[in-house]
């Protein structure tokens, strides 16, 4: 069922401490994501995709330790990815694509493998304005199946992906990398 809600996301929703899923996708919400979002400690799914949200991703989002899917694709979010995202212990899918995010991809993103048996399997950061290089810590995400970095301002060499034995999709269109494609990108012929 498609809804057409609009306005800002009411902060009162952050008082629903037992809430496990919050899906407000494909509406016309605008404004920023409140820093009070970190109060939703039981949340396992946060989907705010396909809205008109602006502003930075709040630092408090890192306190959502039960979150398995964070889907913020197709908004107008800006600023950098807060390093606190690396503290999200249960994250399986992180989709921040099609926004206006800038700065380097934080190295703390590699922490997403150290908590629960290398759970992160999908990392979508395409169609933003990230700069710098791919953090070497991405190469430690051993359960990663999909990695999308296309249409960013990334540069430098591609790090070793020899540990990414489950990687099936690696998207880097329109990126300014230097050097050869590492041999281990096609490790085991799985990509």
**pLDDT score at 184:** 61
Tokens of 38: 């970190």
Rounded to 10 degrees, what is the CA torsion of 116, 166, 134, 90?
Answer: -20
**pLDDT score at 188:** 45
pLDDT tens-place values along the chain, 191 residues long: 556 889 999 999 999 999 999 999 999 999 999 999 999 999 999 999 999 999 999 999 999 999 999 999 999 999 999 999 988 889 999 999 999 999 999 999 887 765 455 478 999 999 999 999 999 989 888 889 999 999 999 998 888 888 888 899 999 888 777 767 666 665 544 44
User: Is 51:71 a contact under the CB 8 Å cutoff?
Assistant: no
- CA distance linking residue 124 with residue 93, whole number of Å: 8
Q: How far is CA 76 from CA 5, 33, 57, 99, 136, in A?
A: 17, 11, 11, 5, 27
**pLDDT score at 64:** 95
Is the CA virtual torsion 164, 165, 169, 172 positive or negative?
positive
Tokens of 8: 């800002």
Q: Is 6-189 assigned to CATH 3.40.630.30? A: no
- Cβ-Cβ contacts under 8 Å for 191 (sequence gap 6 or more): 167, 168, 169, 170, 185
Neighbours of 102 (CB within 10 A): 15
User: Is 77:106 a contact under the CB 8 Å cutoff?
Assistant: no
Number of residues assigned to the chain: 191
């Amino acid at each position: 069922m498609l809804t057409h809600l609009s306005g800002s996301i009411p902060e009162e929703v952050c008082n629903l401490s037992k809430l496990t899923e919050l899906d407000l996708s494909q509406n016309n919400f605008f404004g920023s994501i409140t820093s009070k979002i970190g109060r939703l400690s039981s949340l396992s799914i946060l989907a705010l995709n396909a809205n008109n949200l602006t502003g930075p991703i709040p630092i408090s989002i890192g306190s959502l330790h039960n979150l398995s899917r964070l889907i913020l694709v197709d908004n107008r979010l800006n600023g950098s990815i807060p390093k606190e995202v690396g503290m999200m212990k249960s994250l399986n899918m992180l989709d921040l694509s099609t926004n206006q995010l800038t700065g380097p991809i934080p190295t703390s993103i590699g922490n997403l493998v150290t908590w629960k048996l290398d759970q992160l399997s999908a990392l979508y950061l395409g169609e933003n304005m990230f700069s710098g290089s791919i953090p070497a810590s991405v190469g430690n995400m051993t359960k990663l199946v999909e990695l999308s970095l296309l249409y960013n301002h990334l540069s430098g060499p591609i790090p070793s992906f020899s540990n990414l034995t489950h990687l099936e999709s690696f998207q880097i269109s329109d990126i300014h990398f230097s050097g050869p494609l590492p041999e281990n990108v096609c490790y085991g012929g799985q990509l």
